Amino acid sequence: MFEQEKKRALEHFEKLLDEQLARAERIKATKEFVDYANLDRLVIGVCGGDGIGPYISQVSKDMLEHLLKEEIEAGKVELREINGLTIENRAACGKAIPDDVLAELKECHVILKGPTTTPRQGDPWPNIESANVAMRKELDLFANMRPVKVPDQGIDWVFFRENTEGGYAVGSKGINVNDDLAFDFVVTTTEGTERIAKLAFEYAKNNGINRVDIVTKANVIKTTDGKFLNICKEIAKDYPNIAVDDWYIDIMTAKLVDEKRRRDFRVMVLPNLYGDILTDEAAEFQGGVGTAGSANIGKRYAMFEAIHGSAPRMVSEGRAQYADPCSMLRAVVMLLRHIGRTDKAEALEKAMDICCYEEKAVVITGRPDGATGKEFGEYIKSKL
């Protein structure tokens, strides 16, 4: 009996091994990042997603149209709406991203994406992969960059989360060996770790930051986390003016709430699962996940999004128009900075800080006693 179970498990693992060995070779092929300054026309795809996604995405699209008006009119920038990433359409196709939608996404240079629903146990939807995870894999968006800033608390953090490996690389491809034993798999590659480490150190160097912290659990997860830690330390040798420290994920979650120590941190680089957890904790200091944007960066493509979910309850209760667009607008700031429109990014960020932290003349509550997302967007425009 055990021999049959072992054989089935080994066959399953062999298939995964072949897939990941092929991927490891494939990701070595693309060496250079896209130079947006040399594009004749920059295509920005706007993908509404599910639930409150279309509502907050529309506010963000309006903001982009306002800020990039001259370039759009001159044909230098195109905003292209991409529909079809709804849970209904994905469920009907049985795919995380329908083929026609993926083809549209690949015609863009950068993507602004609303939240999407990932089916879970008890949902009426089939068990399809997360659209986010699928998009990161298909477009090789290996770096998830999330900033968190709370000036009055001395918090100014930027997290570089590896986006395509770790515990999420084959997260839907574990195996139940028998009723008593289940396995999942963690993946770490040399190329995958080198490129996220280089991006973190380059960001620190280019922004005058003299410290990078590496976060793992290498004392227990010795092989994959150990590889991640060792490669990051090797990359650090190319940046002698930047101090490096390493932390275990459990103690780092504690240090972020330590009022004395948390001011020391600036740039953190970490594997996928730890980055997912730690950035949600960090966003709470800023006002919650609804206030935080996220960048997913690759060498050919980049995708910017809110870090919260699709909030189906708000839709079912008829409150979607009151959803807070700030997370998506923070993503717009990151998008503008990524494509070299730094002045536009800084103007939007400053206007948001005024509206969210200083004046607060228009307030979002998520309910009819507060402003709609559209009204809040217009308030921010008035401060640009």
pLDDT at 255 over 90: yes
Characterise 115 by phi-psi region: left (phi > 0), alpha (psi -120 to 50), beta (else): beta
Contact 236, 201 (CB under 8 A): yes
Contact 147, 158 (CB under 8 A): yes
Mean pLDDT for the stretch of residues 214-230: 97
Mean pLDDT for the stretch of residues 223-231: 98
Q: How confident is the model at residue 2 (pLDDT cuts 50, 70, 90)?
A: confident
pLDDT at 234: 98
pLDDT at 219: 97
Helix (H) or strand (E) holding 46: strand 42-47
185-217 per-position pLDDT tens digit: 999 999 999 999 999 999 899 889 999 999 999
Neighbours of 177 (CB within 10 A): 15
pLDDT at 97 over 90: yes
pLDDT at 155: 93
Roughly how many angstroms between the first and final C-alpha of the chain, as a whole number?
69
**Segment among 135-139, 282-286, 287-291, 303-307 with least mean pLDDT:** 287-291
Q: How confident is the model at residue 34 (pLDDT cuts 50, 70, 90)?
A: confident
Average pLDDT of the residues of the chain: 92
Of 329, 353, 333, whose CA–CA distance to 345 is shortest?
333
Global pTM?
0.80
Q: Sign of the CA dihedral 236, 240, 241, 244?
A: positive
pLDDT at 290 over 70: no
pLDDT at 171: 81
What span, in angstroms and rounded, lies between the C-alpha atoms of 19 and 95?
19
pLDDT at 60: 97
pLDDT at 122 over 80: no
pLDDT at 161: 96
The structure tokens listed for 146 are: 């999330």
pLDDT at 156: 93
The structure tokens listed for 15 are: 């298939």
Given the DSSP bridges, would you call strands 243-248 and 211-216 parallel, antiparallel or unpaired? Answer: parallel
At residue 212, the 3 state secondary structure works out as: strand
Q: How confident is the model at residue 20 (pLDDT cuts 50, 70, 90)?
A: very high
Mean pLDDT for the stretch of residues 78-93: 93
Q: What angle do CA 222, 225, 228 make, to 5 degrees?
A: 130
pLDDT at 157 over 80: yes
- CB within 8 Å of 291: residues ≥ 6 apart: 283, 324, 326, 327, 330, 356
**Segment among 100-109, 130-139, 151-160, 218-227 with least mean pLDDT:** 130-139
Mean pLDDT for the stretch of residues 338-343: 91
Q: Sign of the CA dihedral 297, 298, 300, 305?
A: negative
pLDDT at 31: 77
pLDDT at 121: 65
